[in-house]
Amino acid sequence: MSTQRSIVLLSVLLVFGGVRCRQAETVEPQRADAMPTKTIEQVQQEHTEAWMAIPGVIGTAIGEHKGNPCILVLTASNTKQVRETIPSTVDGYPVVIEYTGEIHALDEP
């Protein structure tokens, strides 16, 4: 991953890490028999590269939805392709699409 992309992702994580998720779409409730076997950080890391390859996706973060951890997929545009490609859950964790608009790295001093 490039240094600039790493800076942007780090900035996004710092900005949105404590933000509660807002979701426009319905998230399927987790079933008791579908308990995650991986940490949310592992799941986020495993899927970030593929999600970042989708036009309009600008980052991922970990947030909260209905009092539970969720994976945020941050987008610069609210496109049909993004909505249809990103799943509502992955490995037992809810995935929330968050439209943020463009995010730019700050100039280094």
CA 53 – CA 88 distance, rounded (Å): 18
36, two tokens:
């995650």
Going residue by residue through the chain, which has 109 residues, state the pLDDT in tens, using 9 for 90 and above. Answer: 443 444 444 444 444 444 444 443 334 445 545 666 889 999 999 999 999 999 999 999 999 988 999 999 999 988 888 889 999 999 999 999 999 888 778 887 7
Q: What angle do CA 67, 71, 72 make, to 5 degrees?
A: 100
